[in-house]
Chain A
């Protein structure tokens, strides 16, 4: 943990307490079974907005807390621990585009409503199943945007989209020229294909660099969620090994398992460092954000992958049942690993940035 301000410590503790009390994994299970049209927990989102989380990135003048990405990460980490189905990360990604590229008028129109939790926003960039920002084909003519976006997180219900086109980012709001089709993935969360047919669009300032800055921020925020997921999956597995008895011994007493757990713990410590490192790099406006984000997403992706697999294996048969939480971690893990660039994509970018 970097040295937190008092405000950040309070934020983290509050988020931890809220997530444990109000949003355990059973809440995701309930949402999955109820399958609301928005595919998130609307009541919980309302509560999160009331606590100010929707406005963590938004300047105070526009109704937010003006706290930055490390603070956002502290909250997402706690929510990730319990797999909270919240549009917070997607909304924050779109918010970062407004803050970096929005005009005064655009910011004044949207940021206060986002901070209040009245608007869920989403970032629509990819047009295929794999992260490929260089393959964007969406076009804008005379203020009308056309193209198809695949697997947009919170695409089922977002009222505001930040959409990547060939020449930069655009705001699209309202339903004119927008067709949404749900794409149900393993994580039970909202992902939708969006078809834009001449949807009215407003340009954000900045070219394709803005897309990189925004997807880097989106990736860093997800890394924090991944950190919470990996730590919770690990802790649950550790607890289970201490209670399950076979051959007259608790499983935790077997050295073969102890060393696997020690190895995972080691990777988790490294993961925490790189995730916090990326969030801090963004907050301090450093020049190496791309590198730090790629480091974080690659390490986070591999570590969560490892921990989510081991969670099932070390739980044995019980981990295979829908009744147990292990499957929920596994099914969210693969989705979040792929979003905004999987480990291989980020390793490749890291390699190029470092002359390999």
Chain B
């Protein structure tokens, strides 16, 4: 039993980074008032360009930068449309997803003549040798650096939001941009910053898929993980620790599903995998509907800010 728990814990920590990064990125963007519907597309772009960058340079950290850059550019485009042109954020989010879906397929075919890239180096793992004698706890050892970055980021974001003037400004811009603007806060600048940094974070999540979880880009990526990140943002009630907890919870549910299917034969008969896969979404929906607690979106999320309309 202990071994099973240990295995679940270990694979939870391996599964978590993509969704965790993307959820934090999406949360940052939504807290500043820009809907983050394009997470899936940004993750896909980044997963691909991270693999390309790693193959080209041989260094996965440079690959990570390539991937983050690609996702950041997509986010910048999204921000430009949403802020400068007041386009519908949902439409441009969907557009990013569709363009990334087909565009990356085109690029991977053009560059590698197949739907997957070849294998490459991956981000190193952090060995915690001194834990190796302890049961269960030793599951913390031997995880990608990205896992630890992902686990520390919520702390940083929490500190940003609740302990710095900039964080308060971000929250104000997401709740009541007109009020923030009268106090001299540059609403557009804050929104640009949050969306682009959010895109970079989503990019880390996408890159984690192709240069950490796997050693290559595969055409099915990210297979809906951007949407589960969006669910995690909501399930975590738009807070850093909440989003982190939700992402870890979803990752644990996934790890449990795979662990059960591989170790308990016949589990499919009474607990089909589809039910477990649908569970995170169903729980999020229940939360939104107020059946378990209540999630309240930032008030100005999705509404373009117009300086002439107060």
Bound together: no
Q: Which residues of A contact B (CB under 8 A)?
A: none
